Amino acid sequence: MARRRRKPYTGPDAWPGYVDALSTLLMVVIFVLLIFVVGQTLLSAALSRRQHALEGLEGRTTALAQQVQSEHMLNDTLSTTVSALQSQHDADAAALAALRIADQNQISSLDDEVSELNTHLAAAGQAASENDTQISDLTKKLNDALGTKAQGISHYRSEFFDRLQSVLHNQKGVHITGDRFIFQSELLFPPGSADISEAGRKEIITLARTLREVTAHIPASVPWILRVDGHADRQPVHTAFPGNWELSSARAITVVKLLVAQGVSPAHLAATGFSEYQPVDNNDTPEAYARNRRIEFRLTER
């Protein structure tokens, strides 16, 4: 190849080469600056995101710190409460232990007392059994004695009534009802009067004689008594007596006084007045009134 011929140097002619170099350098610088700016932008965005993240973390950290502080305060409060409850529990446990000891002592004492009471109760039961036996024996003896006495009184009463009925020859207005010997008042007293009639005096004298003969055989240990009961009807009294109480009582007393005059001991006599309140006939007829006006004799125990 033939050599290129060089032109003769006419002055500085390096511009185009420098321009290219400078242009390239400028483009590199611009590129580097662009990279730097983009990097800075990206870095700023990343830093901003990190800043926001840090701020969020700081907020959460603050909230967690407050929560931790609250938890610490609550823990302190709970610790105080637990300590107080533990102290109270210890005190209650000590009191319970003391109560158990006291209860145990009391139960032991009560057991001793119950044992002693059972012993006394057993002794009392034995004594009560013995007393029951004695009471049973005494009751039997008393019943036997009372039965003997009652039988004796019943025997003498039957004898008295039988002999009196025989002496009076079944006279009208005189009869026996149960344990009572009954005289109608008209046989002894005028109407409305407590003064015994002559016929009534004879009847009572006969009764007194029969009573003396029968009771002479009654043992002194038998406390007998002849009860003389005066009864009236419910018609008003139009005599000197205020009412039937006074009339019935006065008639019974008159008979008792006549018996005493005939030798019957006053210690064996009793006079009672029942007015119209013990009727034998509740009808409102003259016959019923006559049956209710009566003198009853009862030979019984005192």
Q: Report if residue 114 sits inside a domain.
A: no
User: How far, in Å, CA of 278 to CA of 248, rounded?
Assistant: 11
Query: Which tokens belong to 189?
Result: 């007293």
User: What residues contact residue 296 under an 8 Å CB cut-off, 6+ apart?
Assistant: 180, 181, 182, 183, 227, 228, 229, 231
Q: Report if residue 3 sits inside a domain.
A: no
Question: Is 191 within 8 Å of 235 (Cβ atoms)?
Answer: no
Question: Is 228 within 8 Å of 269 (Cβ atoms)?
Answer: yes
CATH number for the domain harbouring residue 273: 3.30.1330.60
Q: Report if residue 165 sits inside a domain.
A: yes
Model pLDDT, residue 190: 94
Model pLDDT, residue 160: 83
Q: Report if residue 26 sits inside a domain.
A: no
User: What residues contact residue 282 under an 8 Å CB cut-off, 6+ apart?
Assistant: 288
Question: Which of 229, 248, 238 lies closest to 189 in space, CA to CA?
Answer: 248
Q: What one-letter code names the amino acid at 144?
A: D
Question: Which of 185, 210, 189 lies closest to 198 in space, CA to CA?
Answer: 189
Question: Which of 285, 271, 172 lies closest to 231 in space, CA to CA?
Answer: 271
Q: Report if residue 183 sits inside a domain.
A: yes
Q: Which domain holds residue 179?
A: 149-301
User: How far, in Å, CA of 145 to CA of 47, rounded?
Assistant: 133
Q: Report if residue 262 sits inside a domain.
A: yes
CB atoms within 10 A of CB 63: 10
- Give the three-state DSSP class for 206: helix
Question: Is 152 within 8 Å of 219 (Cβ atoms)?
Answer: yes
In the chain, how many domains are there? Answer: 1
For the chain, 302 residues long, the average pLDDT of each consecutive 10-residue run is 52 62 84 86 86 86 86 85 86 84 81 83 78 72 54 78 77 84 94 94 94 89 92 92 95 97 95 96 94 94 82
The vertex-134 CA angle with 129 and 137, nearest 5°, equals: 125
Q: Report if residue 129 sits inside a domain.
A: no
Model pLDDT, residue 54: 86
- Give the three-state DSSP class for 239: coil
Q: Report if residue 16 sits inside a domain.
A: no
Model pLDDT, residue 28: 87
Give CA separation, 299 vs 7, 155, 218, in Å.
202, 11, 12
Query: Which tokens belong to 289?
Result: 């009134």
Give CA separation, 209 vs 181, 183, 229, in Å.
15, 16, 19
